[in-house]
Structure 1
Amino acid sequence: MRTHHAASLLGTAAALALTACSPAEITTKPDTAASSPAAGTTSAAPTPPGQAATIGDTLTLKGNEDGEQLAVTIKKWADPAQSEDDFMKPDDGKRWVAAQFELVNTGTAVYSDSPSNGTQVADDQGQQFQTTFAEITAGPAMTSAAKVAPGAKVLGWVTYEVPKDSKIAKVQFTMNSGFASQTGEWTVK
């Protein structure tokens, strides 16, 4: 009985490992029809074909489940991002940067997630930084409990705390709180 139970647990663990470990993919090629510059962004024109996505470009990403798909656009970039009040501010020696994400559900399933869990920035040295809780003057924060029907969208700012001297080079977004195998990556200029 014990041997059967142990074998069953090992089989379940192996099946979970195989589904959770599908090959990772970094997507940097912008969608051609959906990409366009957004007002107030650091991108002056749509990204030329064959180049990596930049602020204002849209990347279509898939989630882990059937029907999960988003058209993800970083609409604006704030560096530095300013606190909305006098109480919250970056730690000494740090600054805030922020990306305004627009997530359009182009799939057939409801997108239900905390979008900021699946995003990070990286500097030109390769250091990666996770999100931080902050209310900034640029606009409302991204919801922490998105439930987006097919065809609908959600818009909001995601803030990161980084060293004052870091030059941010990349922004990444991954569905399913960062656990999907496909990650979108934008270059910050």
Structure 2
Amino acid sequence: MAMLILGGAVAAAGVGCGSDSSIDYGVHTNDHGENPAMEKKVITVDSTERIEQNQQLGLTAEGTIKGKAPGILLRVIVQDVFETSFTDGTKAPPGMRVMAVEVQIVNAGSRVFNDSPAAGTTVVDAAGKKYTSLPGAVAVDGGEVFPNPFGLQPRDQRTALVPFVVPVGVNIKQVGFRVDKGGESGLWRVP
């Protein structure tokens, strides 16, 4: 299984990466005005080279990720991670809070992408624990949630949210995105 590691200080034991070396190609920002002095840097290299170098991406950096099936190729940008709330009456369990990951997906392949982005997105806390997105359809404050089912034609793009419920006090440090079962995955660091 091809695995692409794109993210911050990734512990080898935490994500199954074979190396603790890393390459930092610049500073990144989430483009929401927190630090206008920082610049966005887009990194695009061959996926084999990314795997070998354990390349890191920050928020707003683009990763090109291949699916298992021929013709599935996505350009993915994790734009933001923020705390939010449900707007459809759904309640977070006691001691939990609602987070959303804003993801932009561009279909750079030759086939329709028919997988749910929410199914392939995870968040990882500072201790290395992974959280999966919420099953089913919910609505959150801050934007539209990716629909399920989801279809994206070649050359089309979509930006939407993937919601999560995580314990209060948990610090989200990484966002993972997998194209499909058996496809590549990417990992972005969260400041």
TM-score by length of 2: 0.74
Q: Counterparts in 2 of 1:78-157, with a 5 A limit?
A: 78=82, 80-85=83-88, 87-132=89-134, 133-157=137-161
Distance 1:159 1:42, change over 3 A: farther
Shift, 1:175, TM fit = 0.7
Distance 2:57 2:91 in 1: 30
Identical-pair percentage: 23
**Letter of the 1:143 counterpart:** P
Structure whose alpha-carbon radius of gyration is higher? 1
Distance 2:127 2:33 in 1: 23
Distance 2:108 2:2 in 1: 22
Which 5+ residue runs of structure 2 have no aligned equivalent?
8-21, 44-52
State the partner residue of 2:46.
none
1:76 correspondence with 2:80? yes
Distance 1:170 1:102 in 2: 16
State the partner residue of 2:40.
46
Distance 2:30 2:4 in 1: 26
Distance 1:136 1:188 in 2: 21
State the partner residue of 1:8.
none
CA deviation vs aligned residue, 1:36-90 (integer Å, no higher than 9, x gap): 8554276743259797212211111000011100000112221x212224x2231
Distance 2:118 2:129 in 1: 18
Distance 1:84 1:40, change over 3 A: farther
Whether the 8 Å CA contact 2:2–2:182 is kept in 1: the answer is no
Comparing both structures, which one devotes a greater share of its residues to strand?
Answer: 1
SS of residue matched to 2:57: coil
CA deviation vs aligned residue, 1:65-123 (integer Å, no higher than 9, x gap): 11100000112221x212224x2231100111111111100111111111110111010
State the partner residue of 1:12.
none
Comparing both structures, which one devotes a greater share of its residues to helix?
Answer: 1
State the partner residue of 2:47.
none
Distance 1:23 1:74 in 2: 20
Distance 1:42 1:48, change over 3 A: farther
Whether the 8 Å CA contact 1:170–1:186 is kept in 2: the answer is yes
Which 5+ residue runs of structure 1 have no aligned equivalent?
1-21
Distance 1:141 1:99 in 2: 10
**Letter of the 1:125 counterpart:** A
Aligned length: 161
Considering only aligned residues, what root-mean-square deviation do their CA atoms show, in Å? Answer: 2.8
